[in-house]
Amino acid sequence: MRPEDRKYTKSHEWVKLDGATMLIGITDFAVNELCSGNEGDLVYCDLPEEGRQLEAGETFGEIESVKAVSDLNTPVAGTVADVNAAIEDHLEILSRDPWKEGWLIRIKPVIKTLDGLMDASEYEELLAQEQH
């Protein structure tokens, strides 16, 4: 089961309220789809500069494996307050811990609401449907 303390998108990003900011990352499912369980398959990640303004649904970067390139999309509008620069140099962090250490960006949101996003059980249902 995925963590209950965050919300999920159909494009496999997660967002977690963290004080006045929100952390955004990708799910374990997204990581596994990119690298098929082989963390060495992740080869590149491009994250935005701090201070960049983002609209909900906007692409803020990309992650690349030996078999695919995937856009990273923000579930919420806001300003990039922090970037997890360690990810760009150490992609294995995403394979090891996509939920805590593997966050990608921290956003200062325009509105602190996560309406319209899935909770963990709704996300599990989405994955079950995609695998059939």
Distance CA 112, CA 22 (A): 8
Element of type H or E holding 88: helix 85-89
pTM across the whole model:
0.94
Enumerate the domain spans of the chain: 8-112
pLDDT tens per residue, range 73-90: 999 999 999 999 999 899
Q: Which runs of E-coded beta strand occur in 2-121?
A: 7-8, 13-18, 21-26, 42-46, 53-54, 59-65, 69-73, 78-83, 105-109
pLDDT tens per residue, range 41-60: 899 999 999 999 999 999 99
State the fold for domain 8-112: OB fold (Dihydrolipoamide Acetyltransferase, E2P) (2.40.50)
